[in-house]
Structure 1
Amino acid sequence: METNSENIATDTCCSTCGSAARDNIEPTPAIACSLGNGFKKRAENIEALGQRALLASQREPLRLQLTYSKDALSTLQNLVAKEAECCPFLDFAWQHSEDKVDLTITAPKSAEAIIDELFDSFVAKIDRGIA
């Protein structure tokens, strides 16, 4: 089984992984989402993806690890690119294999006060016991 991985702090790993790369020497971005009124719609789209394709999740205080079915890869690439634009203080990394996509979202300590609201939209409230 071939595994590809990408971390947005580095170059893309393969032609399938989208790049939302940032240079590691940039100053830490402000803890703010640029979506404004668009946040609710984006959260709804993220939740719908979770209900359709989320297989597992694991939450730490400033890190969220998500496993999606393989068919979510292109949607996740698009989502990560958009999220990296509106919330540049978050770090996104993913790995994909033949049957799944693992996405890890990491927030800086300075985002602690708002991270629950951001992470909650990624973890679909479904009857699979995931949350």
Structure 2
Amino acid sequence: MACTLGGSELAGRTREWRRLVEQAESRTEIPDGLRLSFPATPDLAGRLATLAAAEQDCCSFYDFTLHLSPTTLELTVRAPATAAPLLAELFGVTV
């Protein structure tokens, strides 16, 4: 498993994720990834969806689920065990 981004593209993407992850109201590690809860705002939902879709282009092994309710926006990110180092690097979790 490997990301197809390199150099400055990878560094930029990592910064984008970290900025969004910092906005999470809660964070729960799950056996194969993590679940982040955010305030339900249209802007944030759009940014998360756009970034998750871009991530799928370079790291197709990630599984993203975005759930929007009237009060909460929940992003679940899963990855196979072989991608645990990449998940930890991007989101700061252990799998």
The TM-score normalised by the length of structure 2 is 0.83
CA 1:114–1:49 in structure 2 vs 1: closer, same or farther (change >3 Å)?
A: closer
Q: CA deviation at 1:42?
A: 1.0
Instruction: State the SS of the aligned residue for 2:28.
Output: strand
Partner of 1:60: 30
Partner of 2:54: 82
Partner of 2:12: 41
Given that 1:67 and 1:100 are in contact with CA atoms closer than 8 Å, whether structure 2 keeps it comes out as yes
Distance in 2, Cα, partners of 1:36 & 1:69: 32
Given that 2:21 and 2:36 are in contact with CA atoms closer than 8 Å, whether structure 1 keeps it comes out as no
Q: CA deviation at 1:113?
A: 3.8
Distance in 2, Cα, partners of 1:84 & 1:114: 13
Given that 1:62 and 1:115 are in contact with CA atoms closer than 8 Å, whether structure 2 keeps it comes out as no
Which protein shows a greater Rg?
Answer: 1
Distance in 2, Cα, partners of 1:115 & 1:69: 23
Q: Structure 1 or 2: larger helix share?
A: 2
Moved over 2 A (4+): 112-115
Instruction: State the SS of the aligned residue for 1:54.
Output: coil
Q: Which amino acid aligns with 2:49?
A: Q
Identity of aligned residues (%): 30
Given that 2:3 and 2:59 are in contact with CA atoms closer than 8 Å, whether structure 1 keeps it comes out as yes
- Structure 1 unaligned regions, length at least 5: 1-30, 123-131
Q: How many residues align?
A: 90
- Alignment RMSD, CA only? 1.7
Partner of 1:69: 39
The TM-score normalised by the length of structure 1 is 0.62
